Amino acid sequence: TVPQILIPKDSYNLVYIIFFLMGIGSLLPWNFFITAKHYWLYKLSNHSLPNNPDEERYLAIASTVPSVLCLILNYVLVNRLSPRTRILSSLAVILVVFVVTTILVKVDMSSCTMEFFVVTLVSVAIVSGASNLFSAVILLHTSDSFIFVQYCTLKVISAFVGQAMGGTLSAVASIIDLAAAKDVTDSALAYFLTADVFILLCIITYLLLPKLEYSRSKSMLKMSLFYPLFRHYMLAAECSSSAIINEGGGRAKVSVPPLQPILAKTWVLGLSVFYVFCVSIIVFPAVSSGIESVNKDSGSPWTTTYFTPLSSFFLYNVADFCGRQATAWLQVPGPTSRVLPALVLCRSALVPLLLFCNYQPRGHIHTVLFTHDAYPIVFICLLGLSNGYLGTLPMIYGPKVVSRDLAEATGVVMSFFLTLGLAFGSAFSVLIVHFI
């Protein structure tokens, strides 16, 4: 453990706030892509596309394979490239792709819709891969560098909570643009420019992070000694993760961390993360965004325009945010409890519950059991709340149940389980939507 006198003080919680912003930035790009539904429908409204595909399913599929590959790459590079290099390179790639996407908003693509569709899928694949790499490193950055003091558990949670806030902000931005802008392209331009600015903000704040200086303690203040909080923990983390103790007591460099001892300690937690996000992505957004108000024929703005953006995207992300934030105050069940995987399995019931809401169009299963708008709202809130809480707990527990020198690599493995869950969930979502 680190003596309390040596732990710098995080005055004004600036480090917490910056990691919160990093968490937002890690999922913001993906959420901006999936919530811009009206823009994609406008740009892809051309009969040259087979069967007029639902873009959410294609976006989900295009995002999963590069995400898995990037996390495998991250595991290989965990002791070869510094977190700073991986974070800045990921953010730079995301920013370039989003700038290109923003420019294409005002470019007339009506004569080459298929080409635009392919470019969009490639952009999603690149952004998703870079975002997952960035997300994994940020979560490891917090969990590895702050793991050995209870005080800093909130720094770990800040990144997870920030991810949910990224989805909430993108949903809010989508609704505001939908309400304020009369032209679809003007709305999309403002929408993607917002993402550009925020990604640039993430780059700037991360570059400023090592320069933040905080007092170590009141007694240290008398001696006028100031130390950078972030450097303090990063130095400790680099010392522990870049070397292992050999039999002779010396330090031996390792290029790729050992996988077997990590899996031996975390396989239940990993499978829990896998199943949580698999269930979530099966129905969100592919199914949830297709659930319409049962009173759509009334013609009111709520039922025709705002029901899906609010119920599917906004409420899900708010509930997800609440679930993740709750882990800052309550962390039960524990890492070895059988209740945790049991609760994870119980989420399976949410899939059929949402399928029997008013999803449209329905080609095979014509029965709608839940004929009131309150049902999908409740089910989506439960989906988001349980995703946030049960998905965050194993990610926090994972690096804590292994030795400190394996903490960062364990975070990569946990992130791999998460992304693998998204990949399987995306594949199943396509099948489920096809058979509804």
pTM listed for this prediction: 0.75
User: Considering the domain boundaries, does residue 34 fall inside one?
Assistant: yes
What DSSP line would sit under 337-402, residue for residue?
-SHHHHHHHHGGGHHHHHHTS-BSS-SS-------STHHHHHHHHHHHHHHHHHHHHHHHHGGGSS
Q: How crowded is the C-beta side of 109, counted as CA atoms within 13 Å?
A: 24
Domain that holds residue 77: 9-435
Tokens of 16: 């917490």
User: Considering the domain boundaries, does residue 196 fall inside one?
Assistant: yes
Helical (H) or strand (E) element with 263 = helix 260-283
- pLDDT of amino acid 325: 86
Place of tokens 């732990």: 7
User: Considering the domain boundaries, does residue 160 fall inside one?
Assistant: yes
User: Considering the domain boundaries, does residue 271 fall inside one?
Assistant: yes
User: Considering the domain boundaries, does residue 161 fall inside one?
Assistant: yes
User: Per DSSP, what are the bridge partners of residue 226?
Assistant: 215
- pLDDT of amino acid 411: 77
- pLDDT of amino acid 279: 96
User: Per DSSP, what are the bridge partners of residue 245?
Assistant: 251
Tell which residue, 336, 339, 344, 429, has the closest CA to residue 391: 344
- pLDDT of amino acid 9: 56
User: Would you give per-residue pLDDT tens digits along the chain (436 residues)?
Assistant: 444 444 455 556 676 777 777 777 777 777 777 777 778 877 877 544 444 445 556 666 676 667 667 767 766 766 677 778 888 888 899 999 989 999 998 888 888 888 888 888 888 888 877 887 777 677 665 544 443 334 344 555 555 666 667 777 777 877 777 777 667 788 788 888 888 888 998 888 888 877 664 433 333 333 333 334 445 545 544 444 444 444 444 444 555 678 899 999 999 999 999 999 999 989 988 899 889 999 888 878 888 888 988 888 899 989 998 998 898 889 999 999 999 999 999 999 999 999 999 998 888 888 899 999 999 999 999 999 999 999 999 988 988 888 877 877 787 788 788 878 887 888 788 788 888 8
User: Considering the domain boundaries, does residue 256 fall inside one?
Assistant: yes
Burial 233-256 (b: 16+ CB within 10 A, else e): bbebbbebbbebeeeeeeeeeeee
Cα 233 versus chain centre, distance: 24
- Summarised one tens digit per residue, pLDDT across range 94-114 is 999 989 999 998 888 888 888
SS3 content of the chain, % helix, strand, coil (to 5): 75, 5, 25
CB count in 10 Å sphere of residue 369: 11
User: Considering the domain boundaries, does residue 227 fall inside one?
Assistant: yes
* CATH assignment at residue 237: 1.20.1250.20
DSSP 8: P
- pLDDT of amino acid 277: 93
User: Considering the domain boundaries, does residue 1 fall inside one?
Assistant: no
- Summarised one tens digit per residue, pLDDT across range 108-131 is 888 888 888 888 888 888 887 788
Cβ partners under 8 Å of residue 8, min gap 6: 214, 215, 216, 227, 228, 229, 232
Please tell me the total count of domains within the chain: 1
